[in-house]
């Protein structure tokens, strides 16, 4: 995998260990056991049968059994690069369905030792703080709730965003560090981008750098679409600049997973399924359509137009 020249190493990113102290894939050289590929493939086939055989399969798991299966599914996604893309997407969807139903998430997401410092931004669903995680400067996106009844919906929304974001690894996508819980509120933690949003540097870009930034965004979006993920809210405010002046896409709160035959939306209402920022939305969204790969491309075109306008 190609790494960005300023790739951030996740602090404390140790993978979840099984009860015996070893990851399900752990060996002395951190590679899957060579003698067990058939077992892994059979496990994936068994899970596929489970997911297809009963549309309500996830209701059979709760508490400890749900936590065990969530951890297993995330381990499979993390450690087995040979899972066919279609099976990987089904495991991905299953992970979100089970997390949504059980109100749990894989334990490897959990972070400790976070120091929250100052409020820097806010939106309708969250506030953003600058903080430190074991000496690393981080952005902390904290869910915003006004009533006790808002907590469950916000937990679902943040849990889904965390699971989708956790599966992404690409130089042009903002890395995800993990989840932190503060005062009964979930926080999504990512590296702090000191140079801020892409808009902040457009006025000083020459033509070559502008083209490079546009290509960065295109590569990040292409990677999402290759995985079957719709971003759902692509705009300048959701594109950040790395220390090496590369662009990376952020904010996966309206993201969804698609297949060739259907779309599985991880959103909380019909309004959210068409959610996003009006000026970047494709015409079909204003006629009641849902976010899609095509509407993402329209959003990308708006970003390009904006970038060229701001840079002149």
Tell me the H-state helices in the chain: 37-53, 63-79, 85-102, 150-166, 199-202, 207-226, 270-273, 283-286, 293-310
CA 152 vs CA 100, 129, 140, 158: distances in Å: 10, 22, 20, 10
**Residue in this structure with the two tokens 């309004």, named with its chain if needed:** 271
The span from the first CA to the last CA of the chain, in angstroms, equals 35
- CA-nearest of 153, 205, 143, 149 to 180 is 143
In the three-class reduction of DSSP (H, G, I as helix; E, B as strand; rest coil), residue 283 is classed as helix
Task: Please give the structure tokens belonging to residue 239.
Answer: 């594109």
Q: How far is CA 209 from the centre of its chain?
A: 27
Q: Residue 257 and residue 86: Cα distance in Å, rounded?
A: 12
Q: Residue 304 and residue 299: Cα distance in Å, rounded?
A: 9
CA 284 vs CA 47, 250, 292: distances in Å: 36, 24, 10
CA 66 vs CA 71, 106, 155, 308: distances in Å: 9, 10, 17, 49
- Among 78, 216, 233, 251, the one annotated catalytic: 233
Question: Is 78 among the catalytic positions?
Answer: no
Catalogue the active-site residues.
233
């Amino acid at each position: 995998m190609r790494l960005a020249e300023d790739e951030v190493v996740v602090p404390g990113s140790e993978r979840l260990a099984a009860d015996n102290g070893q990851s399900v894939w752990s060996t002395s050289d951190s590679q899957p056991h060579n003698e067990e590929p058939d077992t892994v493939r059979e496990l994936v086939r068994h899970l596929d049968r489970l997911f297809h055989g009963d549309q309500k399969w996830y209701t059979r798991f709760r508490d400890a059994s749900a936590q065990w299966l969530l951890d297993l599914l995330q381990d499979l996604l993390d450690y087995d690069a040979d899972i066919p893309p279609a099976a990987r997407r089904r495991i991905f969807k299953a992970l979100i369905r089970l997390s949504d139903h059980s109100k749990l998430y894989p334990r490897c997401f959990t972070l400790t030792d976070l120091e929250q410092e100052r409020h820097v931004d806010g939106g309708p669903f969250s506030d953003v703080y600058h903080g430190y995680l074991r000496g690393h400067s981080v952005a902390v996106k904290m869910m915003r709730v006004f009533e006790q009844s808002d907590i469950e919906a916000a937990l679902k929304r943040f849990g889904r965003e965390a699971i989708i974001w956790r599966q992404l690894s690409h130089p042009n996508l903002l890395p995800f560090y993990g989840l932190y819980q503060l005062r009964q509120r979930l926080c999504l933690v990512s590296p702090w981008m000191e140079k801020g949003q892409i808009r902040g540097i457009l006025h000083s870009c020459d033509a070559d750098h502008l083209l490079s930034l546009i290509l960065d965004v295109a590569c990040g979006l292409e990677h999402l679409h290759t995985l079957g993920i719709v971003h759902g809210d692509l705009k300048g405010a959701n594109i950040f600049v790395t220390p090496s002046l590369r662009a990376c896409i952020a904010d996966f709160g309206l993201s969804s997973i698609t297949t060739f035959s259907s779309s599985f939306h991880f959103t909380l209402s019909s309004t959210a399924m068409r959610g996003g920022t009006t000026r970047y939305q494709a015409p079909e969204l204003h006629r009641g359509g849902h976010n899609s790969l095509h509407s993402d491309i329209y959003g990308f075109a708006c970003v390009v137009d904006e970038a060229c306008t701001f840079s002149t």
